[in-house]
């Protein structure tokens, strides 16, 4: 089960299960000298943690991050930064029922077939709980990006069919004012009503997250397989419930013409429009980077569903326990985190693109 | 300009520019013993090459692949396979005009700022010509997958607003019957008409490609950063004009409910539906894998556009030369190729997932 | 400061400083189903820990490993295994003196120049303490290798000029019977006497470790950059004090002739001799793998030395504190661990070398 | 047969067999703007090519490098540089005899067992011919290093028991004056006599290569698994016939004391001695980097040897054909090349080590 390490120079290794005692992440490759603002890290953790609103599982995790290495006198030393988050509320309960069948919309069955073995106490590594580690790592990457003037902001663009009408980049306060992280009161209220209805039926909703990166310099990403959009798409798609990612005008380009879709360059390094979403030919073009991700409805629902048990016999199930009726508002910060990680890694990979810069840094 | 190497165990390195004498790819990591069907490779190459129809640039490339290493007596030896494709029709013409300004929708400006240097004779590594090398490599991966019973099929789902109505997996012949690779005559005819109009105006169109993989065993992909969907999305997004990728129901999941979106497991290893698009928790679930990619309209158009020249002064331009009014039909085989490469790499990475299998292969 | 992640499929990420509260390692990519024998892990940890004899720093670390993830009901699940070791005895003392100058034989000065910043409380990531994490990870890899019949044994071959005369692979008990892990009483006694003299002078000694892997199947390693010997050499050279690595006859091949150095193949899969040290053309040949590493004398000595302070002024220093007069006996298990990790990774990478094996595992 | 790709940011992919029509290498990740001095590349190629003296196989290869991509107007563009070398003299002869048995000292047997398949026309990927591709790539890396003031020089230190007595770094002319690349006439003459005797007996010799890098700035390499010495050792050990690598005092440290082995730091950034060989704690310390590699005697000898045939029956063989009685003089430039590649990659990886440098390069 390889695949828990991410990044080229900035490498993160996440570990831990939803039902183990603790989970964490090791962040290797950050440069020395970054001021580690623990308050910012915990703010990000709190935005992901369960129990913030009635639209999130009430499982009460405090999700404080403990930093175990790599920081000295408040700054990164360049050494790997190990961070740990306790699972304060994992239950030692009876999982024998869950162990006996395969939950629809989950990877239980694939796990059993692939590894011949499954930790049936939760989603294991496929659990959304794993993303807590990504948020901790992403916050560190975010602190690095801030030193360069890059800021990444995500918010709930849509839940069900209720979509925000926003212009530009919504502020942190506008986003956090809504329990659904929808910075448009009308849409947020309508979505709340929709969710309340679904919860009564034991059902769940999906949605769309939009993420905007500002202050991005020209030159992140490389032209072929390390295109910035390819790396962002892969990174965001590695978040459990994501079923689609688009950049700039995204799927709308199918019906557009070239004369509409091309962004005219203006003197002074600007573009007249930003259909490209800030990336051309795989390289950041200096405009805002705009990305959207489609998030599927939470698969764990209490409504009756058909499935099979581990002996392949049909079985009617209703998933009990603490589950989010919609995962989108909590996933907002996970998208931010993955975008932070990709941008920070590309900064590091791209630092030596020009011979002149390299000579300046190294020549004795 | 790192980033021309792709894959974990099956690694490909592409090289070459659109206006150089030749381009190619080195494929490392394929197992020994695969029968190398050169006819299949050339069929795939021909599906990508220019000049097939009036909807493609008439630049007449023969695009035959020359295999230089790694094959002995018709089979792979396990050694790297180097393949080369000649650029028979690059022109030695006058590029001084193109060198003097930045084409809208292209990475010219980002290149100049990032590398301080640009090969202005074409799109360089961002050129679509680079994908010829991917098709050669993808064909080899496809031959490997066929030995396992896996088949990957892509086709044009939509051009402009004209979309195919298809059920199941269209056959090779149905796809190739249409000059646009749209296996629905009505949609194909309407799209042809639409394209003809655009060509008269010097404009271009976008579209959507759908790709379906059948015969995929349970167990490809790993749960965290190497989720199969994440790797597929990243790989397909690394194709130049792609602006969005979705798996299964994709962006439609935003408006769906959990009870609708979950696929019920049926006895015998089947699912009642396939909203998941064949992947759950990042691991193939045994159903068909279904992926769609949004392709932007070709940015090189003869219609007038505004841009800046290299001295940052505004300039009105009209891109001359041989350009596709729509890239979608030729990109179909590129999507197939990237999907082949990801699936083949996951097969190799995942072969040692179970201790029992490993013991069987290695124990003295 | 990238570089704390090791391995291709079996990836380990070590973290932690000698003077932080804790250190650890995340092991990603082990197959599911390996029985995790914690007693074996702790035995290995104890062989590395300080304070075992008078020839080791008396710093009293208990070095028990806490397993935080990836193990369920006593077996690996395939998920990353996070392991943590507390630094029970780091001192909160006064480092201002050490901070003010550069210790000879250490990387203090390079750290300051490279990162512009140094955690002066110890050797930081260059400290031998980091290797505790490698031993924990290496023990897991060793448990995996045992399932395949592969055993790795290292011992002290030489200290100063006192070398063991051994035949074949010494037993665990023979090795552990000597406080210096020299399975030859005469050599061990002489080396003890030599060390006692050095300790009186505040000086230190170097030595040679030999490592033998038995039960290795034919076929580990690949012919070019992933030659098994290249990977073993790189891995063992990544242990702090190593200044040389050789395989088989090593540096003696310089004076040998081909007719002497070639090992004749015998019927039944054996060789008449093993000058190759079990590796031919980068691939294991089925004989025992034999590797030796030269370990430099501990640089921290109390004897007077010249150096410069951080203002580049000359300074006479004598390193106080708890230091090993010879690191070789404790490094024995670190060499074993790195060899375990390389062999285990090669098993995983090589599992899909033959098409037939792959088809058997995957074909639906 | 993964493993033909090398490097972290500067990645090279070599391909081709000794008996195929052509071989080559793709070099990805070099910065833009390096002047490509083809004369230097061909000089390096000529130093490796066969037939230079009577101590090398007379196989007459011209070994000119053809550059197929990545260079525009004489400079690197940042795009992958593909280089090709023709095998002008491969014979289409009868290999049926070689196919029928396993040559001692070669990987033939391991190949057959590992891949179930062997290209018996030569050593395949294990052939020394593969190193021609490394020399081409290493020459490019060398051109990059020269821009930073780093020079890498290797020479034959020893053949048989005949060792050079040299002080400091021998000049190019001193090295090339000897047919054995031994810059000490007395040793060179004695070694020639020794070789002549061996050749008469159909036997072969080994030796030692020393490699010195000057002008290396402080700060290449990182403290844990990417220690500069670890990467150099792994890289040099990946050259076919290498059986040992040492840095600085190497295996002599075993018998040294700490007070002797430690290098005192002097004001002005110098050290009083250089026992460390230019690397402390895995990071370059600003002194010359000194490395030695032990090279085994050529295994292909005409003297009678015992082996088995492919049916496991004993067989007496005498290897005919064109073989070097000693590979050391030709391997000198291969060692230089691998050292160049490692140093260049470390420059690129380390360019973003300090936050301040990164901010200067990227902040808008």
DSSP letters, D131-193, are HHHHHHHHHHHHHHHHHTT-EEEEEEEEETTEE----SPPPHHHHHTSTT--S-HHHHHHHHH
Over its length of 364 residues, how does chain C's per-residue pLDDT go in tens digits? 679 999 999 999 999 998 888 999 999 999 999 999 999 999 999 999 887 787 877 666 678 999 999 999 999 999 999 999 998 765 555 577 778 899 999 999 888 888 887 777 766 787 888 999 999 999 999 999 999 999 999 999 999 999 999 889 999 999 999 999 999 999 999 999 999 999 999 999 999 999 999 999 999 999 999 999 999 999 999 999 999 999 999 999 999 999 999 999 999 999 999 999 999 999 999 999 999 999 999 999 999 999 999 999 999 999 877 678 999 999 999 999 999 999 999 999 998 888 888 898 888 7
Confidence of residue B2 (pLDDT cuts 50, 70, 90): confident
Distance CA A29, CA D223 (A): 12
Q: Does the pLDDT of residue D83 top 90, yes or no?
A: yes
Distance from CA of B28 to the nearest CA of D (A): 6
Contact criterion met (CB < 8 Å) for B363 and C32:
no
H or E segment and range at residue C349: helix C328-350
Give C345→chain B minimum CA distance, Å: 11
Q: Which residue has the higher pLDDT, B130 or A91?
A: B130
Instruction: State the pLDDT at residue B258.
Output: 97
Q: Which of B246, B99, D9, B108 is nearest to A223 (CA)?
A: B108
pLDDT value, residue D98? 78
Distance CA A348, CA A336 (A): 18
CA distance C302 to C86: 27
Residues 6+ apart with CB under 8 A from A17: A23, A119, A121, A122, A124, A125, A127, A129, C69, C70, C77, C79
How confident is the prediction for chain B on average, in pLDDT? 92
Q: Does C250 touch chain D (CB under 8 A)?
A: yes
Q: What is the helix, strand, coil percentage profile of chain C, to 5? A: 30, 25, 45
| pLDDT at res. C59 | 63
Give the nearest partner residue to A116 out of C22, C32, C82, using CB atoms.
C32
C1–A72 CB contact, under 8 Å? no
| pLDDT number for residue B93 | 59
Three-class secondary structure of residue A283 per DSSP: strand
Q: What is the pLDDT of residue C60?
A: 62
pLDDT of residue D363: 83
The nearest CA of chain C is from the CA of D331 a distance in Å of 13
Say which residue the tokens 């199918």 belong to. Answer: A254
Kindly report, residue by residue over D197-232, the tens digit of the pLDDT. 999 999 999 999 999 999 999 999 999 999 999 999
Tell me how many helices (H) and strands (E) chain C has. 10, 18
Q: Give the per-residue pLDDT at C58.
A: 67
What residues of chain A, 285 to 314, have a C-beta less than 8 Å from chain D?
A: 286
Q: Which residues pair with C337 in a beta bridge?
A: none
* CB proximity A133 to C under 8 Å: no
pLDDT number for residue B364: 72
Q: Name the DSSP class of D239.
A: S
Which residue of A343, A348, A358 is the best one to mutate when testing the D interface, meaning the one whose CB has the most D CBs within 10 A? A358
Q: What is the pLDDT of residues B280-322, one digit of tens each?
A: 999 999 999 999 999 999 999 999 999 999 999 999 999 877 6
Q: Which chains touch A (3 or more CB pairs under 8 A)?
A: B, C, D
Across the interface, of D14, D22, D117, the residue whose CB is closest to B75 is D117
Read off the tokens for B280.
């759950």
Q: Taking chain D, what is the end-to-end CA distance rounded to the nearest angstrom?
A: 45
Among all residues of chain A, which has the CA nearest to that of C75? A117
Residue B345 Cα, gap to closest chain D Cα (Å): 11
- Determine the pLDDT at residue A67: 97
D355-362 helix and A131-147 helix, angle to the nearest 10 degrees: 70
* Partners of residue D148 in chain A, C-beta under 8 Å: 358-359, 362-363
Whether D61 shows a pLDDT value over 80: the answer reads: no
Higher confidence at residue D92 or residue B163? B163
Q: Do C105 and D5 touch (CB under 8 A)?
A: no
Interface subset of D 31-90, CB within 8 angstroms of C:
none
Q: D78: part of which helix (H) or strand (E)?
A: none
Q: Sorting pLDDT into bands at 50, 70 and 90, what band is A97?
A: confident
Cross-strand partners of B163: B158
Tens digits of per-residue pLDDT, A3-45? 999 999 999 999 999 888 899 999 999 999 999 999 999 999 9
For tokens 């990886």, what's the residue? D349
- D134-149 pLDDT tens trace: 999 999 999 999 999 9
Q: What is the helix (H) or strand (E) element at residue D111, kind and residue range?
A: helix D108-115
**Residue from the list A9, A32, A361 with its beta carbon closest to the beta carbon of D355:** A32
| Phi, psi of D215, deg, nearest 5 | 75, 15
Strand pairing partners for B154? B211
Question: Smallest CA–CA separation between B10 and chain A, in Å?
Answer: 14
Complex prediction ipTM: 0.96
CB contact under 8 A, C352 and B9: yes
* CA–CA separation, C282 and C221 (whole Å): 6
Residue A51 gets the label, from left (phi > 0), alpha (psi -120 to 50) or beta, of: left
Q: How far is CA D24 from each of CA A318, B68, C68, D87, rounded to the nearest angstrom?
A: 60, 10, 47, 10
Spatial distance between the Cα atoms of A337 and A12, rounded to a whole number of angstroms? 12
pLDDT digits (tens, 9 = 90+) for A311-360: 999 999 998 776 789 999 999 999 999 999 999 999 999 988 888 888 88
Interface probe for C, chosen from A16, A21, A71, A80 (most Cβ of C below 10 Å), is A80
Q: Which residue has the higher pLDDT, D28 or B124?
A: D28
Cross-chain residue pair D352–A355, CB shorter than 8 Å = no
Q: Which span out of A178-192, B316-330, B342-356, D126-140 was modeled with the highest average pLDDT? A: A178-192
- In sequence order, the 6+-apart residues with CB closer than 8 A to the CB of B224 are A3, A4, A6, A14, A125, A130, A238, B282
- Cβ–Cβ below 8 Å for A147 and D359: yes
Q: Which chains touch B (3 or more CB pairs under 8 A)?
A: A, C, D
**Cα angle B158-B161-B165, degrees, rounded to a multiple of 5:** 50
Average pLDDT over chain A, rounded to an integer: 92
Q: Catalogue the E-assigned strands of chain B.
A: 5-6, 11-15, 22-28, 65-67, 71-72, 75-76, 81-86, 151-159, 162-163, 207-214, 242-247, 265-266, 270-271, 279-280, 283-284, 289-295, 305-308, 314-317
Nearest to B11 among D5, D24, D69 (CB): D5
Q: Which residue of D1, D115, D283 is in closest CB contact with C114?
A: D283
- % chain D with pLDDT above 70: 96
**For residues D7-36, average pLDDT:** 94
Q: Tell me the shortest Cα–Cα distance from B51 to chain A, in angstroms.
A: 20
Q: Is D273 on the interface with C (CB under 8 A)?
A: no
pLDDT of residue D119: 77
Whether A201 has a pLDDT exceeding 80, the answer reads yes
Is residue B177 very low, low, confident or very high in pLDDT (cuts 50, 70, 90)? very high
CB D302 within 8 A of CB D201: no
Interface test with A, best of D76, D352, D359, D360 (most A CBs within 10 A): D352
- Reply yes or no on whether the pLDDT at D2 is more than 90: no
Can you tell me the distance from the alpha carbon of C196 to that of C234, in angstroms, rounded to the nearest whole number? 33
Note the pLDDT of residue D147: 95
pLDDT digits (tens, 9 = 90+) for D262-306: 999 999 999 999 999 999 999 999 999 999 999 999 999 999 999
Chain A residues within an 8 Å CB radius of B349:
2
Q: How far apart are CA A304 and CA C199, in angstroms?
A: 75
Report d(CA C199, CA C192) in Å as an integer: 10
Q: How far is B73 from chain A (nearest CA, A)?
A: 32
pLDDT of residue B323: 77
pLDDT value of residue A92: 53
């Amino acid at each position: 089960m390889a695949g828990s390490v991410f990044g080229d120079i900035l490498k993160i290794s996440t570990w831990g299960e939803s039902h183990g005692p603790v989970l964490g992440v090791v962040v290797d490759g950050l440069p020395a000298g970054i001021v580690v603002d623990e308050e910012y890290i915990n703010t990000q953790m709190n935005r992901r943690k369960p129990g913030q609103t009635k639209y999130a599982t009430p499982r009460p995790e405090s999700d404080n991050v403990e930093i175990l290495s790599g920081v000295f006198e408040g700054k990164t030393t360049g050494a790997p930064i190990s961070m740990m988050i306790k699972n304060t509320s994992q239950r030692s309960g009876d999982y024998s029922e869950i162990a006996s069948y395969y939950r629809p919309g989950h990877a239980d069955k694939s796990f059993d077939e692939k590894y011949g073995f499954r930790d049936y106490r939760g989603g294991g590594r496929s659990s959304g709980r794993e993303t807590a580690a990504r948020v901790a790592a992403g916050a560190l990457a975010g602190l690095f990006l801030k030193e360069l003037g890059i800021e990444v902001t995500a918010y709930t663009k849509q839940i069900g069919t209720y979509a925000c009408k926003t212009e530009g980049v919504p502020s942190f306060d506008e986003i956090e004012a809504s329990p659904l992280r929808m910075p448009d009161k009308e849409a947020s209220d309508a979505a709340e009503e929709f969710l309340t209805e679904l919860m009564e039926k034991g059902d769940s909703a999906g949605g769309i997250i939009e993420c905007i990166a500002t202050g991005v310099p020209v030159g992140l990403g490389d032209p072929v397989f390390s295109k910035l959009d390819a790396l962002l798409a892969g990174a965001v798609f590695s978040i459990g419930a994501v079923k689609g990612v688009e950049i700039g005008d995204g799927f709308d380009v199918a019906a557009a013409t070239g004369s509409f879709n091309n962004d005219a360059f203006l003197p002074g390094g600007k573009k007249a429009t930003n259909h490209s979403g800030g990336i051309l030919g795989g390289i950041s073009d200096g405009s805002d980077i705009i990305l959207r991700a489609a998030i599927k409805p939470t698969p764990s629902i209490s409504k009756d569903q058909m499935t099979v048990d581990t002996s392949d016999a049909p079985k009617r199930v209703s998933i009990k326990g603490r589950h989010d009726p919609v995962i989108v508002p909590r996933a907002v910060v996970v998208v931010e985190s993955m975008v932070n990680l990709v941008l920070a890694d590309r900064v590091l990979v791209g630092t030596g693109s020009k011979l002149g810069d390299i000579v300046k840094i190294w020549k004795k």
